[in-house]
Structure 1
């Protein structure tokens, strides 16, 4: 769709996982309501869907984004939808990011018998593929055994006996798993949540819970009416908050394997921003002495993207002054 002023339909490029399709389906309905135009989902296989192993070994967050972005830039789809936390922190030339209002960004504990974290038995086995989650879980409960897991949401839930999907080849061997609340709710799996882990002890990944709707910047000239309708989905408080969170990540030059959490929200014209950097050695081996986490908070007035970026950069500097550089180099 390059110059069609009244397109009969729009196409959304999306990954083919159940969660990605659910998220893109939510956006499709919002676009249909905003534009009055039918929307079709086009599934695109990304490098992250093909490769196996840790995210760091696959090449970082861009592995879930690049193929979909290429389809957008080449005009094969009209809109791209991503989990915002999957976007590289560097801006993409030629596109505009629209951020609908964010879902609750907390992480969720899903335990076999419905226990909250404090009531899990000593030595309980908890599954997660995130060093950030693992480090914060061990900071709260050093006795836990963290099990590195991969796979889609149902595969992970099956490890704790919580999936309704048929997973005969998946071991049922964990006491609990930790997943993003937003993803579980978008998939209709809220009933498996035992506890929303408090932000005081479990900060999410920068951008967690938010979606990124990406369009070509040329659309503003090619079809101003459509561009304006799509921009009506943009939630400025969400955008400012996630911009600050991602500025922390970018300033620290922390990769996807760094145990780093950040969360911001806007209240009364102020950005409340918190970030934590954790010792990766706490996850690598219980035999290695781990150092205390470095956590910093700030409350600053924000009214622009520049303000949000400045807040994130300043908080990253505070983390480095507190010793976080030792964790990032580990």
Structure 2
């Protein structure tokens, strides 16, 4: 394989510790192909909002960490852009190709709580910090009597809030803690039966310009087919539900051994913001039809009432799942 360029491949990244660590991991993979790399730090609108303390809520969070990196990519300032895949909008971006989805980290959520406690051990009324409507709704649905409070900032800021007693616990993605070497600070890893993660959580997305054919060809070998199938299914769930549902959404797809061949197993949930109502479903299918499996599952959820869950209100007639 010949190098697609004589100069170093410029890898665009956000400036946070987690982002530069993730991008460094991708740069190492690219270097393994015999290509030189350099990291180029880009400040995104999402980073500026965090620094200013501006809240990011609901669907407005989608894409706020992505657009500046894509702009730099399309302007020729960088050759690759590295994102947390869960931040990536589900609609395509003209001129940009998702070229690599590397092997995924553990996608589950974790608890970081005072005194080493789990969620179930926290006293009623304990303050749990999260900036995610998905996590907030599922926390309420667990019925543990916890007070959910908004919290912003990077991983260190959120964990410090626990250490300083501002909150009793925070919820975070295990993948982020693992990538910066702090996974031992988690006091509980949450079973997806308790909290389904965000679609794409734990996975990275590597984008490059669609017309950079040499680089596209060179990087194709880094794509992980199993991770790609799983996140394609999860993103199909999200994209389909977004068309008729403003509710918090969780989804997780896994490739499992079937009777004759591997199967893709997808679980998804949509909830009212207060967690009182939800539609939870699962589906199986071929990994080769990952998008179709996810889209059909989401259509079934919409038919069962998921589209009525965006705002708290009266019980829906179909799809109401009482939460214990």
TM-score by length of 1: 0.86
Structure 1 position 58, deviation (Å): 9.0
Matches within 5 A, 1:173-322: 173-220=166-213, 223=214, 226-253=215-242, 258-268=247-257, 269-282=262-275, 290-291=276-277, 293-303=278-288, 307-322=289-304
CA 73–256 in structure 1, closer or farther in 2 if over 3 Å, else same:
farther
In structure 2, distance between residues paired with 1:191 and 1:302: 33
Tell me if 1:328 matches 2:310: yes
Matches within 5 A, 1:103-114: 103-114=105-116
Q: Name structure 1 gaps, 5 residues minimum.
A: 162-170, 283-289
In structure 1, distance between residues paired with 2:92 and 2:208: 13
8 Å contact from structure 1 (residues 14, 82) kept in 2: yes
CA 81–279 in structure 1, closer or farther in 2 if over 3 Å, else same:
same
Structure 1 position 42, deviation (Å): 0.6
Structure 1 position 329, deviation (Å): 5.3
Corresponding residue for residue 42 of structure 1: 40
Structure 1 position 5, deviation (Å): 4.1
CA 5–173 in structure 1, closer or farther in 2 if over 3 Å, else same:
closer
In structure 1, distance between residues paired with 2:6 and 2:128: 49
Structure 1 position 57, deviation (Å): 7.4
Deviations along 1:274-329, whole A, 9 cap, x unmatched?
000111134xxxxxxx33x21000111231xxx22211111111211222111135
Matches within 5 A, 1:73-152: 73-97=74-98, 98-152=100-154
In structure 2, distance between residues paired with 1:180 and 1:254: 26
In structure 2, distance between residues paired with 1:57 and 1:141: 22
In structure 1, distance between residues paired with 2:126 and 2:246: 24
8 Å contact from structure 2 (residues 245, 306) kept in 1: no
Deviations along 1:151-180, whole A, 9 cap, x unmatched?
11100001100xxxxxxxxx6321111000
Matches within 5 A, 1:54-69: 54-56=55-57, 59-69=60-70
Matches within 5 A, 1:3-14: 5-14=4-13
In structure 2, distance between residues paired with 1:246 and 1:193: 27
Corresponding residue for residue 15 of structure 2: 16
CA 320–187 in structure 1, closer or farther in 2 if over 3 Å, else same:
same
Aligned CA-pair RMSD: 2.1
CA 31–191 in structure 1, closer or farther in 2 if over 3 Å, else same:
same
TM-score by length of 2: 0.88
For the residue of structure 2 that corresponds to 1:328, the secondary structure is coil
Corresponding residue for residue 167 of structure 1: none
Deviations along 1:53-74, whole A, 9 cap, x unmatched?
3324794311111111011112
CA 245–57 in structure 1, closer or farther in 2 if over 3 Å, else same:
closer
CA 132–257 in structure 1, closer or farther in 2 if over 3 Å, else same:
farther
Count residues in correspondence: 303
For the residue of structure 2 that corresponds to 1:45, the secondary structure is coil
